[in-house]
Amino acid sequence: VPKVTQEHVDARRAEILEGARQAFAKYGYEGATVARLEEATGLSRGAIFHYFRGKKDLFSAVAVDVNRRYIGLMTTGGLAEALRALATEDPALVAVLIETQLRLRRDEDFVQRMEETMREVAPAFETWFEDQRASGAFRTDLEWPHLARFATIVTNGLALRVGTGDETDVETVVQLLDDALRPQPERGAVRKRRGARA
């Protein structure tokens, strides 16, 4: 199938990304052998590596894709919606987020590749959080990055849990996260801090 249209190329790329996403999600980065990628995409090595330089590149593309998708979900439907989607709709999406974080710890040039993407979506992130603070939905005693960070932490922690078989009640997690982020009553006045509480 030579000399094809741009649509065809895009479609193929998307096709491969989709299959790769499933494979990475199911087996993890190392476990997603090229053979499994072939199987998942229904394409041959030749085809896959014609579109992506190598496995690492392919994974980067998947990671970028997934992260973008998840952030889009959040800025559209809110944290609750994003967490629900995370936990129920698309388990594949989840695992890739984790792998992403893990690789960020060890793979130097992967870090750089992701940083670009993150810089790109960061503004939307900020806007959304500031809006939430402005509308009174989120607390204002902490800067937005702290809130964002916490939300991310919970997201990743939840993602890590999902699929373990342990049925996690997402709604409760949503509620607890919400309770942490919403405006708080004045501390210290109501409660007295004591020993080993938290």
Partner DNA sequence: ACATACGGGACGACCCGTTCAT
Partner DNA sequence: ATGAACGGGTCGTCCCGTATGT
Buried b / exposed e across 52-70, counting CB within 10 Å, b at 16+? beebeebbbbbbbbbbebb
Q: List the one residue out of 62, 54, 55 whose CA is nearest residue 13.
A: 62
Q: Is the distance from CB of 184 to CB of 139 less than 8 angstroms? A: yes
Any idea which residue has 């959080």 for tokens?
129
Taking CB within 5 to 8 Å according to partner kind, which of DNA, a second copy, none is near residue 49?
DNA
**Which listed residue (34, 80, 92, 121) binds a second copy by CB under 8 A?**
80
Give the integer Cα–Cα distance in Å for 40 and 31. 13
Cβ–Cβ under 8 Å, residues 83 and 155: yes
Site for a second copy in 139-178 (CB under 8 A): 142, 146-147, 149-150, 152-158, 160-161, 163-165, 168-169, 172-178
Q: Token pair for residue 144?
A: 């937005």
- Site size for a second copy, by CB under 8 A? 64
Binding-site string for a second copy from residue 22 to residue 61, where x marks contact by CB under 8 A and - marks none: -----xx-xx--------------x---------------
Q: Does 125 bind a second copy (CB under 8 A)?
A: no
CA–CA distance, 152 with 143 (Å, rounded to integer): 15
Rank residues 10 and 115 by Cβ distance to a second copy and give the closer one.
115
Among 17, 20, 25, 32, binds DNA (CB under 7 A): 32
Structure tokens at 195: 């020993």
Q: Does 137 bind a second copy (CB under 8 A)?
A: yes
Rounded distance, CA 25 to CA 18, Å?
11
Q: Name the site residues for DNA (rule: CB under 7 A).
A: 1-5, 8-9, 12, 30, 32-35, 43-47, 49-51, 53-56
Q: Name the site residues for a second copy (rule: CB under 8 A).
A: 2, 27-28, 30-31, 46, 76-81, 95, 98, 101-102, 104-106, 111, 132, 135-138, 142, 146-147, 149-150, 152-158, 160-161, 163-165, 168-169, 172-185, 191, 194-198
